[in-house]
Chains A and B, each alone.
Chain A
Amino acid sequence: MSGSEERTPLRVEGLSLLTSRDILLDRLSFAVEPGEVLALSGDAGAGKTLLLRALASLAPKGITVLGDIHIRGRRILVTQDGALDPLRPLGAQFTELLAHQSGMDERTALRRAAEALERFQVPAAARRLALHPHELGEAMRWRAALALAMAAEPALLLADAPAAALDPTQRVRLLSDLAAWTREAGTALLLAGRPQPDPIQADPVHSGLADRRLILAQGRLEAPEEEPTPAPPPVEPAPSGPPILSVRDLRVAFPLGRSWRGEERWLTVVDGLSIELAEGETLALLGETGSGKSVLARAILRLVPPVGGQVSWLGTDLAAAPPEAMRRARRDLQILFPDPLAALDPLMTIGAQLAETLESLRPTRSPADRAARMAEALEEVGLPTAVLDLHPGSLRPAEAARAGLARALLPEPRLLVCDEPAATLDGAERADFLALLQAIRRRRRLALLYATQDAAEGLRMARRGLVLLLGRIVESADSAVLAAGARHPYSRALVAAAGLVRPALHGDPPSPLRPPTGCALRLRCPLAHDGCAQVPPSLDPVAPGHRVACHVAQDEAQDGAQSGGKAP
């Protein structure tokens, strides 16, 4: 055994995990060197969590572990939810763990804790140590969980899909901070991806988030193949013609009750938005949690009542439309929901629900014609007609997504509003579904409104993109322009996070209950200056077809125009 092998924190040889009936993992062999980041990807149920638990000697009951696991030094497993002790403040958890593991006294431990939190850019770290986990935001809780693990100076850190539920800009930043620290400290980091659409799944090596990547499939480990770069989507001609959908100054807000002084308090989710969409046009709504993209999608279909502004379809104001006109508009406007299974009534068969939709939106059709339509729609989305007799409970997520698409296509809509339609799918199923959606949209010349938090996916699906922040548009441009040269710092962060590049935004998003004065991004923005706190920036053109709401970007664009159009 050579000297370098002596120092290898994790070496696995012929590791198999068995239940009494199945082989879950089959003779895996790999090693992680000090300071190395190994990314582990694989579909849902591939056994990533199981492998990590086995490596931590915490395999669930009823699972037999065969083979050799050599671990040198301390190992720490950070579980999928990164749970902390809910009953005690952070500081106490740090001191207890450090005292237990290295006999550290309380003051040293608290200092170490504050330093660890600062590595993840937690401002005023020492003060946070008095807080309980439930008093922290989700992002802060994850920083604390990872800081707690790293403060114990493990030789091997097993992280199971850390911070999977966070928004991409926060998550990628957190992961790159973690990778930087483990490399510096010489800790071996085994990072599992989660089954959902996950950047770690895609390719963390290119971006430097990981040094090596392994894929877990059918119980075996595989080295990743060179994935062909997806062909750039064919450039479609910009659709022309008058807008079919026009949204003007739309405002959606929810009452929060009265304050103690008797003032009505409102949570504003969509704040004076205007959109126009021409026949066959595709538009991506990009933004993270709380950006209002989902509520906007629903407000357009009047599934959520707006408090102000106007939505008109083909010149008809939907707010004032009589029931008959509204029914006609509903025929044209259809929606795909983020959880397609939850969007189907569990007590009715798929056939009954499709028939009900047709009956409601196309009442003039004869029953025979309806049956033919339903069969056609199912064929179009690639489902067998036997699905008509099934209840939603017996569908898999991918089938439910297709059934939802079939229902949306039945009334022959002209605009499809999609709210994260593939959120429950992963891997190949996700790609298949999106390709199907794209193909159907082209064939039927549908207009598309596609809301997503994954900038790369949104820009692939649509010709134009809108970036939303706290219910307002901060940038609007063609997808190609946004992908290559977004001007707003928030758009740039979204695009960067989608490519797994560390976004330049710091801190956490502001609370929608108490948005900052001036620009909504200024507390996270690296470019913010004093002026940003004064006036909220308006959405102004910086180039033809490109509008930005950012003081800095607008100033730059003006300077560029004055110096002969040579923008940096």
Chain B
Amino acid sequence: MLSLVLRRVLAAVPALLGLALAAGVVAALAGPGWAPALGAALAALPATLALILPALALGTGLGALLGVLGGSGAILGGVGPAMPGFLLAAVFAVTSATAPVLLGVAAVALPATAQAAVLAGRARAGAEDTVLLAARGRGVDGSALLWRLSLPLGLSAAVGGLRSAVAGTVTAAVAVESLFGTGFSGAGRLFVEAARAGDASMAVAALAGLCGLAVLLNALCGALHGWIDPRARMA
């Protein structure tokens, strides 16, 4: 497992270096002071990560379970496209008098949950006449079938689809950080404020940092997928 994580992360290094280089060049062209800007962006990343990571983990796990169970998962998956993270962030920002942190996480997590539910539900439906039927034919049934086979298959599909969810989650996090006044001050907020102020070096540095975060998260998700599903270990 560790070697798989290392391999995935190492594979992302060229992309990260490329991003850093591009950010450096653009920021340097835009004006002086790009080095401190890059430093500030990097320093703000952990706060963003602290918003994204629990949301992704929670969303994927819950979504996979709901998707495999069908019912509410199918409904959630069906309305998923109607609620991108930034829209939820705006709605929650208006209505939130209490617990803004929880609502912020929810705005990021809900779209990921919906996507995971769709993928897990599809995986389960696809396995119904193959893997699941074969297991039933061997006499496996009930909760053993759900916990030992359906859920792992759904989880594998949900984790395999995290690639696009990561990009959406980072975008949603930017909206949350910018709209929720208190409690969130990460790279997303830095990015929006710099862009509004027309501060090119800071905005580019923050965006590069967010992209780097996405690349890194993608690598980790790839490793996680490989850990759950041996078929994904090959590539």
Contacts and interface: CB of A to CB of B under 8 A. Distances in A.
Same assembly: yes
Interface of A: 53, 56, 58, 74, 76-79, 81-87, 96-97, 100-101, 132, 134-135, 145, 148-149, 152, 158
Interface of B: 130-131, 133-140, 144, 148-149, 152-153, 156, 228-231
Nearest to B228: A87
B153 A87 contact: yes
A82 B133 contact: no
A86 B229 contact: yes
B137 A76 contact: yes
Contact of A132 (B137, B138, B153, B230): B230
A235 to B, nearest CB: 48
A100 B139 CA distance: 9
Given A87-B156, A100-B144, A76 B130 contact: no
Contacts of A82: 134
A56 B138 CA distance: 9
B160 to A, nearest CB: 12
Contacts of B136: 56, 58, 77
B131 A85 contact: yes
A264 to B, nearest CB: 23
Given A85-B131, A134-B230, A100 B137 contact: no
Contacts of A76: 137-139
Contact of A78 (B131, B134, B230): B134
A145 B153 CA distance: 19
Contact of A56 (B137, B140, B229, B231): B137
Chain B interface secondary structure, helix, strand, loop or mixed? helix
Contacts of A77: 136-138
Contacts, number: 62
B138 A152 contact: yes
Contacts of A152: 138-139
Given A53-B133, A79-B134, 6 more contacts: A56-B136, A79-B137, A85-B148, A87-B156, A152-B138, A152-B139
A149 B139 contact: no
Nearest to A74: B139
Contact of B130 (A56, A81, A135, A148): A81
A546 B66 CA distance: 66
Contacts of A158: 137
A119 B229 CA distance: 29
Nearest to A145: B134
A87 B136 CA distance: 17
B140 A97 contact: yes
Contacts of B140: 97, 100
A58 B231 CA distance: 28
Contacts of A134: 230-231
B138 A83 contact: no
A58 B133 contact: yes
A112 B229 CA distance: 26
Given A96-B148, A100-B144, A132-B230, A83 B139 contact: no
Contacts of B135: 85
A86 B231 contact: yes
A74 B229 CA distance: 31
A529 B152 CA distance: 48
